[in-house]
A and B are shown apart, each in its own frame.
Chain A
Amino acid sequence: MEPASKLDQNHRLSIKELPYIIRWKDHRCKRCGQCTAVCPVRAIEPSVKLRRVVFSEGPLPEPSVVRKIYHVIEQVTDIDRACTGCGACALVCPNDAIEPEYNPSNKFLHYKNKGGEGYKRGGRRNDPYISTLDRLKFTRISMLTDPALDAGRHEFRVRTLLGRILPSDKLPLIEKEGKLTIDEENDRFIPPVREIFPIMIGSMSVGALSPPMWEGLAMGVAYLNEVEGLPVVMCTGEGGVPPRLLKSRFLKYMIIQIASGYFGWDEIVHAIPHMVEDPAAIEIKYGQGAKPGDGGLLMAQKVLRLIASIRGVPQFVDLASPPTHQTKYSIEEAVAKMIQSMSMAWGFRVPVYPKISGTKTARSVLNNLARNPYAAALSIDGEDGGTGAAYNVSMDKMGHPIASNIRECYLDLVKQGKQNELPLIAAGGVGKKGNLAANAAALIMLGASAVSIGKYIMQATANCFGDEYNRCNICNTGKCPRGITTQDPKLYRRLDSDKVAERLVEVFKAANVELKKIFAPMGRSTELPIGMSDGLSVDDKAIADRLEISYAC
């Protein structure tokens, strides 16, 4: 006997369980089928229905009943094909006949673990609420006793330093006839230092990003540096560097990342003799805010020929970087060695710094680096950072907010008097709600020397659909409907790299103006107000106490 559960459809999920419900308007739909073709997860499909219809044709009402076959668009309730809410269907619909609607009472996570496999996705922590960064306000307004500066007229230097700074009492200087010069007899190592714009583009790899997306960012960065005079730098992520870029003069705007998979490093190392410029820096990735404890992950479906060749791996295999560097035994020994090795590869001309995920143990790492004169910085990536692929549980539940993490690290350095020697780079949720400059300025005033952004850039330059309601977030599948995180030419040809570059330039120019609009009324223009915590307030006493800033309400 057939079980009743099958007969009454009891095995199927109801549409109410799904995170997004497709609102389809029969009367507006012309059945062109574009929505079903564009849907990256095949959440909707054309279907036929047999319906009883009452109609009347003549001048007088003479209703008759017929049964007709109708073509409809139907939402699938298969959890693997659940609508992600990306809205690509609405974008292509010529008649406004379809759009997804968020279903706040969904039970998506209850079911998204089929086959005993945890739910994996891209994006960042699904927390749509306002972050601490967005609660911070700039309350020290200069006015009469200390005239405010004019963001439009005064000269501003919105720049920061990337690299280890020598302590002032250890500078190898001698005085000759009233002037200071470098003491040539002093063999003290002078670490390389770059002057950069304080907002950096964080690590997003070739492979995680599509060719036009990566190319667009790289072009935009080159334009910002060479035409606009904004020294913006970009981190390559773990995935190698396109060979032509390695040998071009534009490499100086790139921070090359080395992570636990060492993808692409055979090619990079072999290219060193042919490099005409040094990279801006080397970032050693030990952790990522979005998925602490996990290594990088590039799913097989994204490992096409180009990516395989850049990374030096076979095609169509999952590229899972280990959670930790295999050579790592202890921070004192292995991290120091790695910094040393990387520095040595470029003749100690390139700053080398580690990146860790936000954690309660960040201060231990920090203190170790503070004692290592070759460590060029410490990048801390908070829990709101993004990723191309990770387990949902890692993204949603693991990690540390960046605000208090960066603050305690900075104050630790202050105690040691080393706050200017080891720059801190803050990342993770900067610009989460669109307030890029304000979030960046707040982190700087808490003690960061620079901030790093990723997700914001994808949203602002390439219209990434992703948000904190788990919208889209299918970067891991290679089916990005915007063509940002895919290696499928059919998808990525939707993205125009020139447009990405143009938007990138606009984003940074605007952020530069907005930073000035924040710093000017606070009376700061010559140097970045790193650690100017008296400029900040928050309307929550507990946050104020934790961050050692003032409480204002």
Chain B
Amino acid sequence: MCRLSAITSNKYFSPMENILALETMKEGHDGSGLGLTLKDLGGHFEKLKTYPILSGICSKSGAKILDDYMETAGFKLKDIWAPKIRNVKGITQRDHYFARIYDYPASFKHKSLSEKEDLLMNVRISLRKLGESDGSIFVFSFYPDTLTLKEVGDPLQVAEFFSLDCDNLKAKIIFAQGRQNTNYAIYLYACHPFFIQGYCTMTNGENTAFVPIREFLTGRKFPGYIGYNSDSEVFTHILHYTVRQLGFPLTYYKDVITPLKESEIEKRQDSKALKLIKQSLRPLCIDGPNVVIGFIPDGTCFMVHDSKKLRPGVVGGVKGKYALMSEECGLDSAIPKRDKSKDIFPMKYDMVIIKPQAEEVIIWNQLQN
């Protein structure tokens, strides 16, 4: 089972904090991969927040294809960041690990954010398609102020491989997942966290309702709903669909993935709307066992469970810094100086929401709304 380590803070911090937390939860992952998504970047990227960052991996031939494509698409390369690679036993080095910072094509500079987001996603998908068959290009995210790193291996070793311990790479929200491979092949695109247009989630546990959910999402005819090398990728897309595409407030994500019973819905103020949502989004109901940790574009982070709560997670911290972990020991590692009695173990109706800049924690209850 995968291990999840998310930290949100009002100060920049190193991803090593997440990695070390994962290390304490080592019993639960088999080193089949590490995924890192950083949002609200500091260090090298602090002054480049408005520019989209293309995160990925490519071979030498892939680099050429990628450059040609981006140039043709009208993107101007502003800057390149690459992790300093160290030789670590067991990790096979690929040619280029990169975060390339671009400026929008001239024709898009004054377009709306939504149009820009669609452009970035379409570019990412095109690059993915260009390099997927021969593995020459992997692209994980293409979005402003967001960076993604993924590689197969034990999290601590991958961190060493990327020299994260001595790099100045910092962010205010960092999600990390130590992957336990189960059903699917060890593959970079199967590695969490998954990201689409500012929405990101990582999950542990299998998704028993994966096929109907995937079929529903692909039926939306939204170009970004592809991939699904992991059954967990649908959780990100459900979030994106619910909040961005349908325009629902974040809490309705919980209502979509774990809908209430009819009798429980009756008690909600928004029961009429909720009934319709439950019917129309019936195939998006998850049956667990899962804990989902995610963030949305404004920097709000959250944790929810399946309705059986078969994969409990924990949230804790201090004002200005909170961690969302799949295990308590991970929380102890990330934020040892906290009042443990205030740790939150969200129950089946709960959605734990942490406001941007880790300002406050809210436990939203599905029954009480």
Contact = CB atoms under 8 A, between A and B. Distances in A.
Given A145-B1, A145-B206, A532-B212, A418 B219 contact: yes
Interface in A107-158: 140, 142, 145-147, 149, 154, 157
Given A145-B206, A165-B282, A171-B277, A179 B369 contact: yes
B221 A417 contact: yes
Interface string A146-182: 1101000010010001000111110101010011111
A193 B279 contact: yes
Interface in A392-444: 414-420
A173 B282 contact: no
Nearest to B219: A417
A525 interface: yes
A420 B206 contact: no
A522 B210 CA distance: 12
A167 B285 contact: no
A142 to B, nearest CB: 6
A146 B206 contact: yes
Contact of B212 (A146, A147, A416, A529): A529
Interface stretch (B101-109, B150-158, B266-274): B266-274
B205 interface: yes
Contact of B272 (A142, A182, A420): A182
A526 B272 contact: no
Given A146-B206, A149-B308, A523-B289, A530 B273 contact: no
B249 A180 contact: yes
Interface string A514-548: 00000000111111011111100000000000000
B307 interface: yes
A180 B273 contact: yes
A525 B310 CA distance: 13
A280 to B, nearest CB: 16
Contact of A526 (B246, B251, B259, B280): B259
B287 interface: yes
Contacts of A165: 279-280, 282
B82 interface: no
Q: Could you say which interface size class chain B belongs to?
A: 35 or more
A450 to B, nearest CB: 13
A269 to B, nearest CB: 30
Nearest to B283: A420
Interface in B216-231: 216, 218-221
Contact of B270 (A140, A180, A414, A525): A180
Interface string B169-206: 00000000000001100000000000000000000011
Contact of B249 (A142, A178, A182, A418): A178
Given A523-B288, A526-B287, A142 B273 contact: no
Nearest to B206: A146
A547 to B, nearest CB: 13
Contacts of A534: 210-211
A154 B207 CA distance: 17
B209 A529 contact: yes
A419 B217 CA distance: 11
Nearest to A231: B262
A167 B183 CA distance: 32
B215 interface: yes
A180 B252 contact: yes
A420 B256 CA distance: 14
Given A165-B280, A523-B288, A523-B289, A142 B208 contact: yes
A14 B272 CA distance: 71
A173 B273 CA distance: 7
B246 A168 contact: yes
Contact of B220 (A417, A522, A526): A417
Interface string B41-78: 00000000000000000000000000000000000000
Contacts of A226: none
Contact of B276 (A140, A166, A523, A525): A166
B245 interface: yes
B276 A179 contact: no
A524 B208 contact: yes
A276 interface: no
B281 interface: yes
A195 interface: yes
Nearest to B348: A155
Nearest to A417: B219
Nearest to B207: A146
A414 B215 contact: yes
A190 B279 CA distance: 12
Contacts of A533: 211
Contact of B280 (A182, A420, A522): A420
A180 B248 contact: yes
A179 B269 contact: yes
A418 B282 CA distance: 12
A526 to B, nearest CB: 5
Contacts of B259: 526-527
A169 B246 CA distance: 6
Nearest to B288: A523
Nearest to A413: B219
Interface of A: 140, 142, 145-147, 149, 154, 157, 161, 165-169, 171, 173, 175, 178-182, 190, 193, 195, 414-420, 522-527, 529-534
Q: Which 3 A-B pairs have the closest CB atoms?
A: A417-B219, A523-B208, A146-B206
15 contacts: A140-B208, A147-B289, A171-B280, A173-B248, A173-B276, A175-B248, A180-B252, A417-B216, A523-B289, A525-B287, A526-B258, A526-B307, A527-B259, A527-B283, A534-B210
